Amino acid sequence: MGLPEPPDLGAAALAPGSYAGQAVVVTGGGTGLGKAIALEFARLGAAVAVVSRGEEHRAAGVAAIEALGARALGVACDVRQPDAIAAAFGEIEAAFGLPSVLVNNAAGNFPAPAEDLSPNGWRTVVDIVLNGTFFCSREFARRHIAAGSPGAILNIGASYAWTGGPGFAHSSAAKAGVKNMTETLAVEWAPYGIRVNGLVPGLFPHQDEAPHIVGGVPERGENEGARQPAGRVGRPREIGWAATFLCSPFASYVTGATLACDGANWQRRAMLQPEFTPIREQLGKGPFTG
Ligand code: NAP
């Protein structure tokens, strides 16, 4: 049987209008899970700023939010650039007022054996995931501390922050940093009324997945539900619902926590593990040649 399917897209646990009059920033909010998160905030009345590099991505997010009758703003910004982040928050604040929620969702990733990773590949992923999350969080917090207003930050993580992630040394190290930083910032900023939490998606296939992610992992896309304890993959709206709850007043005493929304996939263990296959072989790579 597995875990039941969730309610249909369009349903919401929180009351209609729960985010009315508030602005929410979602980095990477024009694609995939970021877009699903942006839409659930919009459905509850938020004005949503979609922050990303690509014009097409931003336009897709803005159009989907506006189609729900909510206000949206696409803001060009690379989260690796602190000055650009400051300018983006300035633009958002001018349009909507100071946002009450920041969702750090933007990420870059690609599978590779660690010995194949170039310094540039390593730095790029760590820069977007770890540094980008810190720079955006810092900008958000400084504005709230100055204004004396409360806020909520949500960092989108990955379960290999707990386990390590063979084939994803860069991303798993960066996500582990994000999880740790979530715990630190929650303590530092609770006195200012700012909560900081993490949300970890399990396997959530979506239409925007980059071909190098899907194509780079052999058998990705095949029989994915059967590979999960839940008997199914996640539905993007399930991440959106978790996000809107964690940033809401109904989670007002939850901070420094990281919630896994993955159907218990990361805790699975076989009594006997399958025979070990080195990561080069799993990724279909030939011998390392230097
Ligand atoms: P995605 O479709 O690849 O989206 C990534 C988003 O990040 C894009 O909208 C991209 O927009 C933005 N982005 C990348 N680099 C950026 C930069 N330097 N500055 C600003 N924006 C940037 O990814 P996803 O699958 O929806 O994943 C969303 C989050 O969930 C990520 O944090 C990911 O690690 C996590 N996650 C996903 C899964 C899953 O199954 N999908 C599983 C575990 C964790 P631009 O290209 O326009 O900049």
Q: pLDDT tens digit string along 182-220?
A: 999 999 999 999 999 999 999 999 999 888 878 888 888
Query: Best mutation site among 25, 26, 27, 33 for ligand 1, i.e. most ligand atoms within 8 A of its Cβ?
Result: 33
Q: Is residue 257 part of a domain?
A: yes
Instruction: Note the pLDDT of residue 215.
Output: 80
Q: 218: domain range?
A: 23-264+272-282
160 is catalytic: yes
The tokens for 284 are 């279909």
Q: At 257, is the secondary structure helix, strand, or coil?
A: coil
Q: How many domains does the chain divide into?
A: 1
Residue 18 in domain: no
- Domain harbouring 251, CATH code: 3.40.50.720
User: With bands split at pLDDT 50, 70 and 90, how would you rate the model's confidence at 28?
Assistant: very high
Residues whose CB falls within 8 Å of the CB of residue 76, separated by 6 or more in sequence, listed in order: 52, 53, 55, 58, 88
Pocket test for ligand 1, best of 40, 53, 79, 181 (most atoms within 8 A of CB): 53
Residue 8 in domain: no
Q: Residue 121 domain-assigned?
A: yes
Q: What is the pLDDT of residue 230?
A: 98
pTM score of the predicted model? 0.98
Instruction: Name 191's Cβ contacts closer than 8 Å, sequence gap at least 6.
Output: none
DSSP character at residue 99: -
Whether 36 maps to a domain, the answer reads yes
For 261, the enclosing helix (H) or strand (E) is: strand 258-261
Q: Which residues pair with 258 in a beta bridge?
A: 198
User: Does 288 map to a domain?
Assistant: no
Q: Is the CB of 38 under 6 A from ligand 1?
A: no
| Per-residue pLDDT tens digits for 127-161 | 999 999 999 999 999 999 999 999 999 999 999 99
Cβ atoms of 233 and 203 closer than 8 Å: yes
Nearest ligand 1 atom to alpha carbon 203: 40
Q: What is the Å distance from ligand 1's center to 191 Cα?
A: 31
Is 1 domain-assigned?
no
Locate the DSSP E strands across 105-178.
151-156
10 lies in a domain? no
